[in-house]
């Protein structure tokens, strides 16, 4: 075809691929798209780029010269043949950018072999914790759906040791253990509200029996109004149990588990037969362990048998484990700066919460 040149499709390209080719007339590199129906090894025609129009030369005064003897040139017949197909270089198509996820979520791509309704274990990018999510309806392998980001859990023991002189350290310790003085009124309001809630719970327990374990890990949940009225939610799970009749539950289970991937349940008796009699739906996990006297409320560490802290008034005298005054206040408690939650030292420096000191049970 006049005004065109042939391009042969390389093995790694196909319809819709972009190719870089060099025009045989001008040497210019062109980017072309393989048309539909043209596959590796086939050729398609590409228009030749237009050559720039020659600029006419200025007229020159002619001179009569003696004509030389004509020379005879041999014509290469093969040069008149049509140009051979030009092998093109494939251009890497840009990778499509995945759609962005809504704010407060992160995207999850469904792997092969997983479909709607199946569970996936994913790691949250903001906290690093593992999450179990369910693939929503209409999303198959290779599809994407958004998962809400979990809220980060504050760590009260991660604050580093304050820099500066001893006065600055004392100010930091007092503010950390008793709270900022500007918030004392708010703290007392919170304490009063908690006291009212505790009183109401005590009244409910006295009227309703032993139903206070509703929602506690390792205890049965009340699923009907009759169970709630009969306080069956106070039934604890067995600490260790098995059920060979259920797939996945033949190995020892601890308290409330989801061993058969259905829902959280546990055995309450050795025969494990009958819902509400031998087994029950329950709150996931094991019952929380209560700190013993002289132990930290969190972290499982134990107070020093005897300690002092000369940087705080009232604590320079020797203190025994998690000691308090007659009213249950800590050694640095004063009327102007209350310190009502007992604490103790874990080492001689007694400066960093969780490693040097902790709140404790008297």
Which pLDDT belongs to residue 213? 55
H or E segment to which residue 311 belongs: none
Cα-trace Rg, the chain: 41
Tell me the per-residue pLDDT of 196-242, one tens digit each, with 9 for 90 and over: 999 988 877 655 444 445 567 888 887 655 444 444 457 889 999 99
Which pLDDT belongs to residue 337? 85
Burial of 309 (0-12, 13-18, 19+ CB in 10 A): buried
Tell me the per-residue pLDDT of 286-296, one tens digit each, with 9 for 90 and over: 877 777 888 99
pTM of the model: 0.28
Mean pLDDT of 341-349: 91
β-bridge mates for residue 132, sequence order: 121
Q: Are 140 and 116 in contact (CB under 8 A)?
A: yes
Helices (H), the chain: 166-178, 184-208, 225-230
Mean pLDDT of 257-267: 92
Q: Name residues whose C-beta falls within 8 Å of residue 358's C-beta, 6 or more positions apart in sequence.
A: 296, 297, 298, 299, 301, 303, 343, 344, 346
Which of 255, 169, 190, 261 lies closest to 220, judged by CA? 255
Tell me the per-residue pLDDT of 30-52, one tens digit each, with 9 for 90 and over: 898 989 888 888 888 988 887 76
Answer yes or no: is pLDDT of 159 > 60: no
Which pLDDT belongs to residue 210? 41
Q: Name residues whose C-beta falls within 8 Å of residue 23's C-beta, 6 or more positions apart in sequence.
A: 5, 29, 30, 48, 49
pLDDT confidence of 259, banded at 50, 70, 90? very high
Answer yes or no: is pLDDT of 76 > 70: no
Q: Are 122 and 108 in contact (CB under 8 A)?
A: yes
Q: Which range, of 102-116, 149-163, 229-243, averages the lowest pLDDT? A: 149-163
The residue among 317 and 170 whose pLDDT is bigger is 317
pLDDT confidence of 284, banded at 50, 70, 90? confident
Mean pLDDT of 319-331: 90
Name, of 24-28, 280-284, 295-299, the range with top average pLDDT.
Answer: 280-284
């Amino acid at each position: 075809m006049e005004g065109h040149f042939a391009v042969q499709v390389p093995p790694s390209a196909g319809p819709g691929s972009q190719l870089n080719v060099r025009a045989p007339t001008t040497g210019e590199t062109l980017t072309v798209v393989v048309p539909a129906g043209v596959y590796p090894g086939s050729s398609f025609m590409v228009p030749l780029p237009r050559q720039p129009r020659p600029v006419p030369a200025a007229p020159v005064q002619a001179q009569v010269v003696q004509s030389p003897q004509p020379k005879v040139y041999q014509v290469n017949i093969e040069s008149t043949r049509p140009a051979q197909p030009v092998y093109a270089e494939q251009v890497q198509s840009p990778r499509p950018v995945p759609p962005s996820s809504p704010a407060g979520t992160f995207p999850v791509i469904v792997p092969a072999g997983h479909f709607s309704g199946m569970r996936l274990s994913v790691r949250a990018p903001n906290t690093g914790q593992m999450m179990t999510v369910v693939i929503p309806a209409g999303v198959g392998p290779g599809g994407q759906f958004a998962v809400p980001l979990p809220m980060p859990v504050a760590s009260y023991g991660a604050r580093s040791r304050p820099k500066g002189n001893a006065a600055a350290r004392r100010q930091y310790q007092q503010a950390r253990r008793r709270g900022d003085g500007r918030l004392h009124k708010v703290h007392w309001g919170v304490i009063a509200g908690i006291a009212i809630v505790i009183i109401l719970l005590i009244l409910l327990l006295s009227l309703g029996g032993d139903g206070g374990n509703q929602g506690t890990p390792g205890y049965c949940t009340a699923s009907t109004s009759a169970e709630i009225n009969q306080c069956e939610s106070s039934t604890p799970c067995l600490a260790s149990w098995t059920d060979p009749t259920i797939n996945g539950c033949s190995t020892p289970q601890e308290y409330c588990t989801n061993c058969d991937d259905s829902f959280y349940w546990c055995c309450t008796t050795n025969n494990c037969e009958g819902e509400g009699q031998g087994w029950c739906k329950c709150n996931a996990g094991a019952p929380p362990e209560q700190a013993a006297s002289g132990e930290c409320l969190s972290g499982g560490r134990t107070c020093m048998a005897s300690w002092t802290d000369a940087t705080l008034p009232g604590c320079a005298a020797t203190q025994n484990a998690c000691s308090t005054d007659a009213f249950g206040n800590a050694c640095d408690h004063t009327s102007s700066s209350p310190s009502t939650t007992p604490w103790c030292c874990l080492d001689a420096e007694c400066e960093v919460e969780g490693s040097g000191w902790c709140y404790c049970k008297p």
